[in-house]
Structure 1
Amino acid sequence: MELLTFDSFTKKIYIKASLEKIYWCWATTEGIMSWFLRRAEYLGADAKVRNPSDFIQEGDTYIWEWHNWDGQEKGSVLKANGKDFLEISFAGDCRVAITLQDKSSSILVTLKQYNIPTDEKSKMQIHYGCSNGWTFWLANLKAYLEHGILLNETEHDLRQFPNAGLEFVNM
């Protein structure tokens, strides 16, 4: 058994949808905005905004914005094979890798966030915060693809609550 550490974590979920649909959900602007983000923008190596239906490419940069949070996440697409794997920079120098594996009746989605700093602030905000966040978002992706529903809060503005990100399970 691999020891658990604060410099990385792995989350897995089986989803009954096609591998192509799940990859689309992660690797296109329209896909990632369908279940995860309020706004996403990918810029190609030529600094032009990628069309919403185009797959992201290695070397692209991104800007993400969530519902109920005023901040932005900016990073780079480090790898994207167009089928079953992508990796991005995230939360500073961290990396997030998404692997999709066909398991006959389902697709196993594995998310690994790694290269997490191990100072106390990063342990709380990145390891704990992102680990909880990704757990919810993977469940949201499953609910969206298998049942056509979204679990994240889009009707109520949670930004008025100082601890919303720590208290609301569907941020």
Structure 2
Amino acid sequence: MTDNKWASFKVAGDYSTDVRSLYEAWATTEGIEKWFLRKANFYTIPRRTREPHEFIMTEDTYEWFWHGWPDDASEKGQILEANGTDTLKFTFSGGSIVTVYIYSRNGVSIVELTQENIPEEPDLTKNLYVQCQLGWTFYLANLKSVIEGDVDLRNKNVDLKSNFK
């Protein structure tokens, strides 16, 4: 068995805000829609939709929708861990796992995101390692822009598609 060096990556960003605010930005519908998603639905085990300010919990499921993409391009998955303070883990594209860890160091808060279990893809145009790493890098930058300056960098113009062709 060969070691797949394309099976995981880690990206991180620093933020001039507190850990609690960053956790809320990831772990509530209202928070995650401000910087990442057009629409987020989080569902409890009995399939109740969580309220916008309500924290997600371990074993919740989700359905996510992005700006610039039709509703049939949604992402569905499960929350594997949500500890209520600084750690989230969820399933993501291709059966991969994303872990978000938020902590404070030297007067700033850090978001450290690891995506692992990324499947090998022979078609390089569908390479999740590259596509997800680019995506997360942008969205972590957008999180910083929204939290620190209230400027959303996402393209919300539906007439401009993501590839601009």
The two structures have a TM-score, normalised by structure 2, of 0.91
Residue correspondence of structure 1 range 17-96 to structure 2 within 5 A: 17-70=17-70, 71-96=73-98
Q: What RMSD, in angstroms, separates the aligned Cα atoms of the two structures?
A: 1.9
Partner of 1:138: 140
Contact residue 121 and residue 127 of structure 2 kept, 8 A: no
Q: Aligned partners of 2:108, 2:123: CA distance in 1, in Å?
A: 37
The number of residue pairs the alignment matches comes to: 161
1:125 paired with 2:114, answer no
| 1:116–1:122 contact (8 Å) kept in structure 2 | no
* Letter of the 2:118 counterpart: I
C-alpha change, 1:51 and 1:134, in structure 2 (3 Å) is: same
1:158 match: secondary structure: coil
Counterpart-to-counterpart distance in 1, 2:74 and 2:31: 18
Which structure has the higher relative contact order (CA within 8 Å, separation 6+)? Answer: 2
1:115 pairs, out of 114, 117, 135, with: 117
Report the alpha carbon displacement of residue 156 of structure 1 after superposing the two structures with TM. 5.1
Partner of 2:101: 99
Name structure 1 gaps, 5 residues minimum: none
Percent identity between matched residues is: 37
Give the TM-score normalised by structure 1.
Answer: 0.88
Structure 2, gaps ≥5 residues long:
none
Contact 1:117–1:123 at 8 Å: present in 2 too? no
